[in-house]
Structure 1
Amino acid sequence: MAGMVSSPAAPPELAVDVRDLTVRFDDFVAVDGVSFSVPTGSVLGLLGPNGAGKTTTVRVLATLLPASGGSASIFGHDVQHDAHRVRSLVGLTGQYASVDEELTARENLMVFARLLRFSRAGARRRTAELLEEFSLTDAANRSLKHFSGGMRRRLDLATSLLAEPPLIFLDEPTTGLDPRTRQQMWETIRRLVRGGSTVVLTTQYLEEADQLADNIVVIDHGKVVAEGSADELKSSVGSSRLRLSLVDDGDLPTASQVMEQIAGHSVDTEADRTLVVPVAGASLVTDVLIALRDKGIEVSEVGVHKPTLDEVFFQITGNPRKEST
């Protein structure tokens, strides 16, 4: 870890404090001066295109990879100089299950618990608790070869929580899961945070960050290019959009003209004949609807939509959602 400078202990309210973190592999800079912090009891979402440096950053914070420069601390403990203590405070769930398919769910948890120096009785007790928590009790004695992808991911998360770490790194925890199982995992993560855990989440699903993260850090080419809550990031890319569908398509030209005059922006007509225009506030929406009514134009559907995280991601990084791994 040559070149990594020790930093003062982070305030107790910060679970993670990263300052100017840099990671080089020969001439390639994977992480380039990244800084962010994570308050205790919150969820941080790390977003970025493939190869942006998200997983590399997490590996440094989990003491699995040396940094080339900068500093990072976990609950005030420097990841370089107090790595042993840091490891006792974190749990890491990677993109692929780190479990033995030849063993049952119960046997996997027991093995890891014993490696963590639980007593035999303590290992049995903690294993039973986690099997119940992750709805795996009925399948506890089944070989993992017969587990679904969602069951494997839940077991992997349970394994990372054996020692009840206060900080959990989740590296794309729902990759490959069906929507129902993904929702179940989201609720599990919410329960962990309600119980006092802090979570750092990397994900390829922008909706996942929108649903779970209190704060989002967007990394591109190893640098932080945006940071804020989901609403703050959405606001940064522009106004909300008013979408209108009309009862009579013959009114489209007049309605479009009215909307453009009031909103002060050009109106788009989508393939389904929906009219869309940016609006700066709710009062403009009311003004448009009143003006259309005065013209005798009937509206069949109306909605106001904020920019999505997909739009934020594309504008900030130039990468469409499908590449945001």
Structure 2
Amino acid sequence: MEGNHTQIKFILVGITDSPRAQTPLFVLFLLIYVVTLVGNVGIIILVQVFPSLHTPMYFFLTHFAFTDICYSTVISPRMLADLLSEDKTISFSGCMIQFLTFAFSAIVECHLLAMMAYDRHVAICQPLLYVTIISSRVCWQLVASSYIFAFLSAIIYTWCMFGGSFCGPNRIDHFFCDVVPVLKLVCSDTHSSEMVIFAFVTINAVGASMVILLSYISIIHTVLRMCSAQSRARAFYTCASHLMAVSMYFGSAFFMYLQPPSSHRSLDKVASIFYAVLIPLLNPFIYSLRNREVMGSLVKCGSRFFSHWQHRRFLSSRT
């Protein structure tokens, strides 16, 4: 496969090669994908419809939901198709685009988690200056810079992965084009590419982790100095959803990418399914079921829908 990269085709091994397991897995992951789309689109619509949710935290949450949709859409449809198809080939350009979109979404989500932690830090530690520090302009600047930096980083990751020579096996032992399984197929020396990828992963993941860690150290220090137990409980409650999302995202990502290549090989696909498929499903539930404002808006939305349905039913019964 040396030479023209456009002629290269890869074969995605997929989640399983057992014919008996493919149909049940297809139904399961199709349901997960549909619920993920409905949940995240619902979060975006809810924040746009209710003025009470027009705050910096929910502004970041809408972009977080958008990246979850990108995550799922770049991986799940292809994975579902491969579960029912015998032809599991993917073109070189298709593999590149899949990884580029996946890397872009992952980096943006990493930065958004850091922004949301900083937002909670300012809200709890500097409440009187919150409106000034976390203004609408600052929110847009933070999100825009995150998208730009994520796009540039994703391009560098993709070039490091696909810029080498592919002259041997073309079977990717995974259900999507990820870093480790693709680099295993490169015939040329990948040491410099791996070092560049490691450097940018460190800048993105470790940098975001430090922002989150320092934000929560400051939050804990401030909360413990509060006199009222009710105030302390309220402050911790506002951070609970974000802490759950951070733990799931960074826990699974660090397990996957900061382990030695020979370790946990049988668990790689399981970890990938968790952070690439299940986390986008769980995030809307984490941020809605553990959030009074979102739950209140959902109740209002349900009440409006029920009232509208009753009104239309009443009008139709009169005619």
Q: Could you state the TM-score of these two structures normalised by the residue count of structure 2?
A: 0.22
Where relative contact order (Cα < 8 A, 6+ residues apart) is larger, the structure is 2
More helix by share: 2
Q: Could you state the TM-score of these two structures normalised by the residue count of structure 1?
A: 0.21
More strand by share: 1
